[in-house]
A and B are shown apart, each in its own frame.
Chain A
Amino acid sequence: MLHIVACIKQVPDTKIIKMNPKTNTMDRASAPAILNPYDAHAVEEAVRIKKKYGGIVSVLTMGPPPAVKAIKKCIEIGADEGYMISDRRFAGADTLATSYALTKALDKIQKIRPVDLILCGKMTIDGDTGQVGPGIARRLDIPPLTSVKKVEAVHQEEGHIIVHRKIEDGHEVIQSTLPCLLSVEKEINEVPYSSFPNMIKAARYDPVIWSVDDLEDVDIKQLGLKGSPTIVAKVWAPPKPEGGKMLEGSPDDQVDQILSVILEKKELFQAKGGS
């Protein structure tokens, strides 16, 4: 039976979040914690694959105890099982340490039920790196397929999958061996309004929670802040764009005006065009 694992994260809703003007860091208390929107698409895709080919969908997250809420959200979407690794020793992890910890948890999940396919969202809205998915694939030594916008077919027996990857000027159709890892684009699907029975199931659901000690062969040095070579040197809020200028007059006048603006600032346009 196909076993799909979606890796998810609970993030502060960055649409609402306020920045602390003094430290330039996010004031996490100012925004509700939500399931990373890209991850919702990953879970939804996993559920769709399950519906089509049969199987089981698990979700995996690393986070503090309140992140259980994000797992419950995935159960609402239709996931069957939820696993969470939660331990102070995981705290402060960058993408390197996060992918290490998640890989250790995936090793443990593999022992419960072999994993055929791992799905991740394109990136998180609080980190914006998109590195954890490929990081996991590298550590597990399976193919990472990024920017996936469509899953064409999953052939478990033959051991391969066909997906569409978004590229700059279109898309490419790729066949990969299973198991592999997909990180999915937002447009891969629409997450529908969850059914009432799923809501009930989620309300009752208690995920499996593991601490560092529950995982095997863990090198503590590679966890959390200690295992994170990334240094945040400076954080600042981007300057607000200045209000534009409204051109007035007849169409001909306006064309003349815009032309003179372009000529005046031509180096700006050249830089953007790359020529």
Chain B
Amino acid sequence: MSERFDCIVVGAGPAGIACAYELAKGGAKVVLIERGEYPGSKNVMGGVLYRQMMEDVIPGFYKEAPLERPIVEQRFMMMDKESAVTFGYKGMEWGKEPYNNFTVLRAKFDQWFASKAVEQGALLINETVVTECIVEEGRVVGVQTDRPDGEVYADVVVLADGVNSLLAKSLGFHKEYRPDEVALATMEILKLDKKIIEDRFNLEPNQGCTIELFGDATNGILGTGFLYTNKDSLSIGVGTLLSGLIKHKIRPYELLEYVKNHPMIRPYLQGSEQQEYLAHLIPEGGYKSMGKVVGNGVIVVGDAAQLVNAIHREGSNLAMTSGRIAAETILLAMQAGDFSEALLDRYRVKLMNSFVGQDMKKYKDSTHHFDKFPQYFDQYIPMMNRAASQMFTVDGKSKWEKQKKIWKDIGSPREKIKIARDAYRAWKVMK
């Protein structure tokens, strides 16, 4: 029989690595199993890393981690076919320590983060797929890998195997996700000269900008796009609910091409060269789609537990926090010598009381709401653009006249009531 560990962590993404890091630091004998060639090789995200939750694991990480740019400006573009209403915030306080957040390239960052876990004593095993949990008498006692002599045993197994979590599913923790519970994000990394990026986005060296794209970015399908600046590349992508792609019969790469060629976006990308193409599912079902996260000898963290805040494009920070809390709970369980669901449930309680659980609850209806009522994206954003165009076009008409026309163009009194109702509803699901 293979050697025994205190804990097996399946999947080296932000959740799994944070968990393995904390466990190893706490003195546990931990093995971190990753299916990719190296941590990060199969991991995808738009590219914003939040400082606070990463610092909860490694204080001052930004002094040595491979980061792209600290973000000093966040813009939001409400896009129509040939126009956009943009607002944003740029602040120099974000450009200096301790910073707010950063753009990162996951292939580099995850590799570094995992190396820190290895420094703490975690054992990292790459290129190995965990095929199932080994269950004995109602408790998870280890995992089966796809390698010869591939079974490994431990007191606790942490499932950080990502969005589809086949392992949690096979334990009956969640069912197959519906197409409206997961989003498909496709993105490209476009190589572009550092100097050009800084000129084009009005940045100093070591400053970054993020642009979130709404409305026509996704050609009317519920979802968002993004354009982020890295050191010498741009990350551009779109994410839409899988159900939207199915309904509109549009292929993900077509959507990406659409936004890349959008007149509001194309000039930013001019002269860049495609470096990488990536695609990944994102769990966006929110609180209501969360399955069971704790069992006897097993804990589920990160995307595998559906921990994503789709409205605020947060995920990796929720993942890290869940991994950290899982590790704390496991270290506690090791002291008590008790790995039952009853004890490990402290993870769930702590998680739900943290910002992770609170935010999951706060936005429990939002994605579903915008999915159910597409008018926010396909009617109100164009309306906003038309209003801005009318108001700011100087053509001899008085501003009074313009306001009247805008008001009239919104529609009949009934339609105005409907908009007011929608605005109230949107406020309700977001409040």
Contacts and interface: CB of A to CB of B under 8 A. Distances in A.
B413 interface: no
Interface string B115-149: 00000000111001000000000000000011111
Interface string B245-267: 00000000000000000000000
A195 B149 CA distance: 6
29 contacts: A32-B37, A192-B148, A193-B146, A193-B147, A194-B147, A194-B148, A195-B147, A195-B148, A195-B149, A196-B2, A196-B125, A196-B128, A196-B147, A196-B148, A196-B149, A196-B151, A197-B2, A197-B3, A197-B149, A199-B125, A199-B147, A200-B3, A200-B31, A200-B123, A200-B125, A203-B123, A203-B124, A203-B125, A204-B123
Nearest to A34: B37
Interface in A213-228: none
Contacts of B125: 196, 199-200, 203
Interface of B: 2-3, 31, 37, 123-125, 128, 145-152
Nearest to A192: B148
Interface of A: 32, 192-197, 199-200, 203-204
A200 B124 CA distance: 8
B12 to A, nearest CB: 12
A19 to B, nearest CB: 16
Nearest to B150: A196
A197 B148 CA distance: 9
A203 B37 CA distance: 14
Nearest to A32: B37
A192 B146 CA distance: 13
A211 to B, nearest CB: 24
Contacts of A204: 123
Contacts of A32: 37
A32, A194, A203 — most chain B CB neighbours (10 Å): A203
Interface of B is mostly: loop
Nearest to B152: A196
A71 to B, nearest CB: 15
Contacts of B149: 195-197
B150 A195 contact: yes
A199 B148 contact: no
Given A192-B148, A195-B150, 6 more contacts: A193-B147, A194-B147, A196-B128, A196-B145, A196-B148, A197-B2
A136 B368 CA distance: 69
Contacts of B123: 200, 203-204
Contacts of A194: 147-148
A197 B123 CA distance: 12
B273 to A, nearest CB: 12
Contacts of B124: 203
B233 to A, nearest CB: 14
A194 B127 CA distance: 10
Nearest to B5: A200
A86 to B, nearest CB: 19
B210 to A, nearest CB: 27
A66 to B, nearest CB: 12
Nearest to B41: A32
A221 B300 CA distance: 59
A245 B7 CA distance: 61
Contacts of B150: 195-196
A193 B127 CA distance: 10
A200 B154 CA distance: 14
- A-B pairs, top 7 by smallest CB distance, nearest first, are A195-B148, A196-B147, A196-B150, A195-B149, A199-B125, A203-B123, A196-B149
A197 B145 CA distance: 11
Nearest to B148: A195
Contacts of A199: 125, 128, 147
A197 B150 CA distance: 8
A56 to B, nearest CB: 21
A163 to B, nearest CB: 28
Nearest to B38: A32
Contacts of B152: 196
A46 B124 CA distance: 26
A197 B147 CA distance: 9
Contacts of A200: 2-3, 31, 123, 125
A197 B152 CA distance: 9
Nearest to B3: A200
Contacts of B128: 196, 199
B103 to A, nearest CB: 20
A194 B124 CA distance: 15
Contacts of A197: 2-3, 149
Contact of A193 (B2, B3, B148): B148
Nearest to B124: A203
